[in-house]
A and B are shown apart, each in its own frame.
Chain A
Amino acid sequence: MSIDISPLSAAEGAPVNQFNSAGELTHLLTLEGLPKEQILNILDTAKQFVSVTDPAREVKKVPLLRGKSVFNLFFENSTRTRTTFEIAAKRLSADVINLDISTSSTAKGESLLDTIDNLVAMQADIFVVRHSVSRAPIEIAQHVPTHVHVVNAGDGSHQHPTQGLLDMYTMRHFKKDFDGLKVAIVGDIVHSRVAKSNICALKILGCTDIRVIGPESLLPSDLDMLGVKVFHSMEEGLKDVDVVMTLRIQKERMEAGQVPEGAAFFRQYGLTPTRLALAKPDAIVMHPGPMNRGVEIDSAVADCPQSVILNQVTFGIAVRMAVMTIVTSN
């Protein structure tokens, strides 16, 4: 079954407008071009929302989005991202509607924008959009009326802004400052919207030592990589870093034979305790999930005290609360 996503006029490279006339964020579509103060504002706001789950608070819910409807539109599966967006919206007292796209009218041939029009007619306030086609959320944002907000929950190999933000939150939580921070991103960079959003946010926040490690075939060679150090060896790239982020090999986005499979990849690029020992002793290990133990990461590393992989998931809820509150208020 193919989903009709035409017309998609949000062309590659075209400027993304996610701001209102006052320069405030009304959609979150990409981290590209987001001013540093706005990123810091999202992180500071998220910090406030972490306190909503304070064990002393009997009512773990705040009324900021009471009466608003959040529509989760996942054209591509993602249990973790959809669930954390749903929890975030519910903690803000919003009503959440999850659409099972594969069994809905898109499967009957309805176009993407016709689907959106129908959901707007159902009084949607926020669309959280995950799509396998890059820039599909941008297309939706251009189409909806001004009182409706769109949050990109991952589009193709383009961007995954809330993941980038929750990764920044996690790094700031454990490392305090981006000044002087050394960050290594390992594995499938070319297909990774997470890597792109991270590199983008790290640059904006003033991180000057960003490294990518992986085989030639998994590293992009475009402008996104400007100012990023490229390594093909774990032993060289991991030296003295503060943060190691490993990424899943996205087989669904590549052709057969493009990269060494499973065990072969692990031998060259798997994050093992021996390799992690090359990083700073207090380096943190991150992974956006879902992780494949024994492919990009050793089980011993995934479960070690330096691993903050589950903290990322928890912080992700607060960051998504912050994003939805901020776009709705503008």
Chain B
Amino acid sequence: MNAEQSYLKLLETLSQRKKAGDAFELAGLAMGGAWIAKRLAADLNLAHFGVINVAFHRDDYAEKRMTALRTASAMATNLPFEVNGKNIILIDDVLLTGRTVRAALNELFDFGRPEKVELMVLADRENRELPITADFVGEQVSIPENQILVLEKDDGGKFSFQLEEHAA
């Protein structure tokens, strides 16, 4: 798993689309996806990027209780562009069950009706639980179900993936 290499691959994809005159807005899912969106916006010289916090729409709210709201409290949803009629690229670090993306779509639609929504992820794991697929994938990874893939960002802004055991 090479997060940096995956990032450059995604950057190249978007760079080509930008050159081709494609108009799109980036919206990163807090926290990891927002880091990626921020870096992509800087590398692509985009005027802005959005952040989506899925806490209000999580489906595991009853089990995770308030931790769901607390952990995301540092980053509120902020979409500094018109959502109606736009092509929006959702960005996340890891795609697993698809539940976070479902919640992100609900949150996004609370702000308006986009023309089109695409999904870009750094790493695509298996074990989908909802009919959701990524349009752009940095890397396809296969790791045991009991492990979590965590995106980290060093002081220089470089990305790396860490494997952690799932807390029981």
- Report A's interface with B, CB cutoff 8 A: 41, 44-45, 47-48, 51-52, 54, 56-59, 62-64, 325-326, 329-330
B70 at the interface (CB under 8 A from A): yes
Q: Which of B77, B79, B109, B110 has the most CB of A within 10 A?
A: B110
- Distance (whole angstroms) from the CB of A55 to the closest CB of chain B: 11
- Report B's interface with A, CB cutoff 8 A: 55-57, 61-62, 65-66, 69-70, 72-73, 76-77, 79, 106, 109-112
| Chain A contacts for B56, CB-based, 8 A | 52, 62-64
| 4 additional A-B residue pairs with CB within 8 Å, beyond A54-B77, A325-B69 | A41-B66, A47-B73, A54-B76, A329-B62
- Contact between chains at B69 and A48 (CB < 8 Å): yes
A51 to B62, CA, bound (A): 21
- Contact between chains at B66 and A59 (CB < 8 Å): no
- Contact between chains at B65 and A329 (CB < 8 Å): yes
Contact A326 to B110, CB < 8 A, known contacts A56-B79, A62-B56, A64-B61: no
- Contact between chains at A45 and B73 (CB < 8 Å): yes
Contact A44 to B79, CB < 8 A, known contacts A64-B56, A325-B66: no
| Chain B contacts for A58, CB-based, 8 A | 110-112
Q: Closest chain A residue to B65 by CB distance?
A: A329
Contact A45 to B69, CB < 8 A, known contacts A62-B56, A62-B57: yes
What 5 A-B pairs have minimum CB-CB distances, sorted nearest first?
A62-B56, A59-B110, A329-B65, A51-B76, A48-B73
How many A-B pairs with Cβ below 8 Å?
A: 45
| Chain B contacts for A63, CB-based, 8 A | 56-57, 106
- Contact between chains at A57 and B110 (CB < 8 Å): yes
| Chain A contacts for B72, CB-based, 8 A | 48
Q: Closest chain A residue to B76 by CB distance?
A: A51
| Chain B contacts for A329, CB-based, 8 A | 61-62, 65-66
A81 to B77, CA, bound (A): 29
A143 to B106, CA, bound (A): 38
- Distance (whole angstroms) from the CB of B82 to the closest CB of chain A: 9
Q: Which residue of A41, A44, A56 is within 8 Å of B111 (Cβ)?
A: A56
A114 to B79, CA, bound (A): 50
A243 to B79, CA, bound (A): 35
| Chain A contacts for B65, CB-based, 8 A | 329-330
Q: Closest chain B residue to A42 by CB distance?
A: B66
